[in-house]
Every structure is written in structure tokens, then in C-alpha cells.
Structure 1
């Protein structure tokens, strides 16, 4: 699982680490969509041994740098509408604005930390962090970004 996770992380984070990648829009969007779905799927296969080791803390990449590179690789990405509460079908003020660039930038930052923890602390620490950050942060960004990609087609 670790090898597949690292490979998939690399497929996504390149869009935030490298500006102006040479890739067609269709190939880019398809690659991103497949990789996001793989990350989502791998979450359900997380298996790790918790230890009580105090590991080093991650402090590597900055949001502004990642966002700038994502903007260069996805100049056509923008804002979109989201429902605040999908279950409340009667609410009048139930929409908000989402940002595809922010979604991908946040996903990349979290994935970089997962990868860093695997490579610098331990596989278990990286998988623990993946499990920890997924449901509270990455999951919603992936869902929103996949929906954005679908709606654009």
C-alpha cells in the first residue's frame, strides 16, 4: 500500500511543486481525477501500528508557493457553488462559494505531509496522519474537486 500511496501522492503534488507543466488539459484533468479517486480509495485500506514515538514535525512547504504553481497548471480552474447542508432542502441561504485552486492546494499540502512523515518518521506515522487528516480535511476537498471536474465536462 505504501508504494501505491507514495506514487499516487507524487502524481498529485507535482501540480503544486512544478509550475507550468507541459500536459494537455484532458490528460491533466484525467490524471488528477484518477489520482484523487485512488487516494480516496486507499484511505479505506489504512492499516498501521500506533507507537508513542515523538517524531519530528513537518514544516516544509508554504501554501502561497503551492497555490501559485497550481494556478499556473490549472489556469482554467475557478470558483463554484456548493450546498452548505445537503439535507436541508428548504433553506434559502444554503449555498457557499468553493474554490478549485484552494481545494487542490490544500490536498497537495496534506499529501506532502503524509509523504514526508512516511519518508522521514515512519510508515506508521504517515498512515496515522493520513487517517487523521482524511476525514477532517482532505475528504471534503476531494469530493468538492471531483464534483467540480465532473460539472465542467
Structure 2
């Protein structure tokens, strides 16, 4: 069981993460993670069958920074905005240094001069580490429900 203060910090981590991405504050994204971390965006089918194949897979904060550099400086794509709707996290396990939790998410995408569309829906499976700087994601697996994904997954989910 989490104490009230830690649970409030957990809620802030989830909401601040979504706000940073939704507001295109890309330089903030890697700082939500520990230095050695895992970030994956993986289809539900592969996850449930134990297949390692993921649409995106990174293993360090440095790799996350590279992704942001690529997404903002080198990859050509139609501009779009994202908006996250994230459920209240469900606590799965609490240990001295880590918290395991999950939350459902829906990401809407809006391109200029187009209607908003549902872009990606699934759940976050998270391991969160207590650090001197506060709670940080040690692992974030974004398991999306559809077997298909839009042809351009540029920004983090």
C-alpha cells in the first residue's frame, strides 16, 4: 500500500508525463526516466505471446534523447498534435524502491485542418523507481490494443 504523499507523487508523474508530450515539451520526456530504463511500444498480440518484437524499443535515457532529436530534427513528417487521456493508475506491487502500476490510455491525434482521430489506445505497464529526484519510470511498456498501427509513430505514447 502506498502512503498518500507517494500516491500523489505517482499521480503527478503520470499527469506531468502526458502534459509534457501533449505540449511538445520534448526535452522533458527523457527526464521522466531513470538513466538505465526501458521504453517500449508493443502490440498486445506480441506482448501476450511473449514475443519481444516492439514497434519502438529503447534501453536508456540516451536512446530516448536520440529519439527526440530524430523526431524533432531529422524525420520529415506531417505535423500533428497529440492529446493523452490516462486513467488513474492501478497499483500492482509496492516494494522498498519500486512501484509497479498500470493505467489505460487513449491518444488522440490532430493534424492541422483535419478532425481529431483516435491514434493509439492501450495500457501502460510501469515500473517506477524512487530516486533522489523523485519518482521516475524505470520501465514503461505501452501495450497498444490494435494489431495495426498508423504508418507514422513519431512521438512517444
TM-score, with normalisation over the residues of structure 2?
0.23
Structure with the higher strand share, 1 or 2: 2
TM-score, with normalisation over the residues of structure 1?
0.23
| Structure index of larger Rg | 1
Greater RCO, 1 or 2 (C-alpha within 8 Å, sep 6+):
1
